[in-house]
Chains A and B, each alone.
Chain A
C-alpha cells in the first residue's frame, strides 16, 4: 500500500524518468531552501501582550515591523533565534504602516530586498510567527498588486494581495520570492465570517518591498519619518475625458479630494480639477507622482498646472512634510 505511486508522488519520492528526481521533490527542495535562507532574518516581536513578527533590516540591529502593533506599547521585545532583546522604538510611517525598532545586537542577518517588484500570479513564501510558532512558513500566490485597504479607519495603498491564509502572529512576516528576497512585509488580512463568528483569515495583504525600504531608510536616516505631502487624493483620468479635454494620451489626474490646511488647498486645488503638470513635468503616472511627492525630504516649492472648467491655471505651493496624522 505504501508503495503505491500516488502515495510516493505525495511524498515526493516517485522516480520519474528512470530514477531522476521528481519535479515535486525539486520544488520541495527549492521551497525548503528559501525558508532556510529567510529564517535568520525573521524575528518575533513582543509589544506588551501582543506577539507578531518582524524582519531584520540592518545587521546592526534595525528591525522593520508593523506600526500599529507597537502603538502604545510600554515594552517591546525582539527575539532573534534563541536570544531576546529589549527594543527601542525609532519611528513609524503611518502611510505605509511600517515601523522601525532597534535592538542592541550586531552581526545580524538582514533581509535582502527584491528590486524587481512582484507580479500577479507569481509564487511567494510567507515566513512569520503564526500563532506563536517560530518560522512558520506557507506558500502562496500573489493575487494582486496596488490594492487599497481600510484597516481601523486608516487607508493603506499599494498593497500586495496574497492568497496565503496568513494567521494571527504573521503581522510583520517576511514575504519572500523564489530567490528568498523580500517581496513585502505582511500587514493585515481579511477574514471569512459566518454570522458573528470569525472562521479563518482569508487573503492577506503585504506592504511592498519598495515602500518598506523607503520608509525604513527615511526613518533610519532622519530618526523620524520624513516624506513629502500634497494633501490631495488623485484619480487616473479616463481616455474619454482626456479626448474631451484635448489632452495627450496618458496625461492628467483628477483631484478627488483636498485635505484642509494642506499644500493642495493652499494651491487652490479643488475636487474635479485636472492636474496636468507637476514641477514642470506632465503628469502621466500616478505611481511615479506618488513616489516623487513622497520623496521630498524638506519643504519644497513646486509649480502645478491644472484644468478647471477646461481652463488652464497655474499654481505654486510648497510641498510640506507629511504630518503623519
Chain B
C-alpha cells in the first residue's frame, strides 16, 4: 500500500477498529515511513485526549465515523495535480537518458581500449569478415569514430599459418621450366 491508502487506515488503526490485514499493512508501513508514523502518533494523541473527556469505552464504529470526519481538517491532503503524470514521465525520461549516456560512455571507453595502437591500424586483420570502420587517416589525438559497432564475436585471432591452415606462397619462380 502507498501512503494515501495507509492514511485512510491510520484513524481506524489508532482507534483499534482496523481489520487484521489492514493493521499488519499499517504497522509495516509506519515502520519505514516517518510521515505516516507522525500522523499515526497524532491520531493516537487525539484519541487519548478524547478518551479523557468521557467514561467507559466508546461504542464500535465511533472512531471510524468520528476520525474520518475530522481527518480532512486535521491533516489536509495535498492537492493532487492532474498534470503530475507529465512530471513523472519527464523524470523517467531523464533517468533513461542518463542511463543511455553512461552506457555510451562505457562503450566508447571499451572500444578505445580495444582499438589497435596507432600505426597498426593498417595491419588490422578482419575477423569473421567484420572490421572496424574508421577514417583512413587517423589522428591519434582525436577519439576514434566508429560508424557501426564492432560485433562481439569470440573469434580466435586469425593467423595465416595458424590453426586455420592455408600455406603461404613464398614466391612465383621465374621461367617456365617444368620438372619431369
Instruction: Evaluate contact between A171 and B166: CB separation under 8 angstroms.
Output: yes
Residues of A within 8 A of B172 (CB): 147-150, 190
Contact of B53 with A by CB under 8 A: no
Residues of A within 8 A of B125 (CB): 198-200
Give Cα distance in the complex from A286 to B159, angstroms. 38
Interface size on A, residues (CB 8 A): 57
**What would 28 A/B residue contacts be, using CB atoms closer than 8 Å?**
A66-B165, A95-B179, A131-B155, A133-B128, A148-B173, A148-B178, A149-B169, A149-B171, A149-B172, A149-B173, A150-B169, A150-B173, A151-B167, A157-B178, A166-B166, A167-B166, A168-B160, A168-B161, A168-B166, A169-B165, A170-B166, A171-B166, A171-B167, A194-B122, A197-B120, A198-B160, A201-B160, A235-B175
Give Cα distance in the complex from A51 to B120, angstroms. 28
Contact of A19 with B by CB under 8 A: no
Instruction: Evaluate contact between A52 and B180: CB separation under 8 angstroms.
Output: no
Q: Please give me the residue from chain A that is nearest to B171 by CB atom.
A: A150
Interface centre among A168, A257, A293 (most CB of B within 10 A): A168
Instruction: Evaluate contact between A188 and B177: CB separation under 8 angstroms.
Output: no
Q: Please give me the residue from chain A that is nearest to B128 by CB atom.
A: A131
Give Cα distance in the complex from A199 to B120, angstroms. 11
Interface centre among B122, B175, B180 (most CB of A within 10 A): B180
Instruction: Evaluate contact between A168 and B159: CB separation under 8 angstroms.
Output: yes
Contact of B158 with A by CB under 8 A: yes
Residues 40-61 of B contacting A (Cβ, < 8 Å): none
Interface size on B, residues (CB 8 A): 30
Residues of A within 8 A of B126 (CB): 200
Looking at the assembled complex, report how far the CB atom of B123 sits from the nearest CB atom of chain A, in whole angstroms.
3
Contact of A102 with B by CB under 8 A: no
Residues 161-180 of A contacting B (Cβ, < 8 Å): 166-171
Looking at the assembled complex, report how far the CB atom of A188 sits from the nearest CB atom of chain B, in whole angstroms.
4
Instruction: Evaluate contact between A69 and B165: CB separation under 8 angstroms.
Output: yes
Residues of B within 8 A of A286 (CB): 178
Given A131-B128, A149-B172, A168-B160: A233 in contact with B167 (beta carbons within 8 A): no
Contact of B147 with A by CB under 8 A: no
Name A's B-contacting residues (CB within 8 A).
47, 49-52, 66, 68-69, 95, 130-133, 147-153, 155, 157, 166-171, 186-191, 194-195, 197-201, 205, 229-236, 256-257, 264, 286, 289-290, 293
Instruction: Evaluate contact between B180 and A290: CB separation under 8 angstroms.
Output: yes
Residues 126-180 of B contacting A (Cβ, < 8 Å): 126-128, 155, 158-173, 175-180
Give Cα distance in the complex from A224 to B26, angstroms. 91
Nearest 10 pairs of A and B residues by beta carbon:
A197-B123, A168-B164, A169-B164, A52-B165, A188-B167, A230-B180, A256-B177, A168-B166, A50-B165, A233-B177
Looking at the assembled complex, report how far the CB atom of B125 sits from the nearest CB atom of chain A, in whole angstroms.
7
Instruction: Evaluate contact between A233 and B180: CB separation under 8 angstroms.
Output: yes
Looking at the assembled complex, report how far the CB atom of B132 sits from the nearest CB atom of chain A, in whole angstroms.
14
Residues of A within 8 A of B168 (CB): 151, 188-191, 201
Residues of A within 8 A of B160 (CB): 168, 191, 198, 201
Looking at the assembled complex, report how far the CB atom of B157 sits from the nearest CB atom of chain A, in whole angstroms.
11
Give Cα distance in the complex from A170 to B163, angstroms. 12
Residues of B within 8 A of A131 (CB): 127-128, 155, 158, 164
Residues of B within 8 A of A187 (CB): 167
Residues of A within 8 A of B175 (CB): 235, 256
Looking at the assembled complex, report how far the CB atom of B164 sits from the nearest CB atom of chain A, in whole angstroms.
3
- Apart from A168-B158, A168-B159, A191-B160, what are 16 other A-B pairs with CB-CB below 8 Å? A131-B155, A148-B172, A149-B171, A150-B170, A150-B173, A152-B170, A153-B170, A155-B173, A168-B161, A169-B164, A171-B165, A188-B166, A198-B160, A233-B180, A290-B178, A293-B180
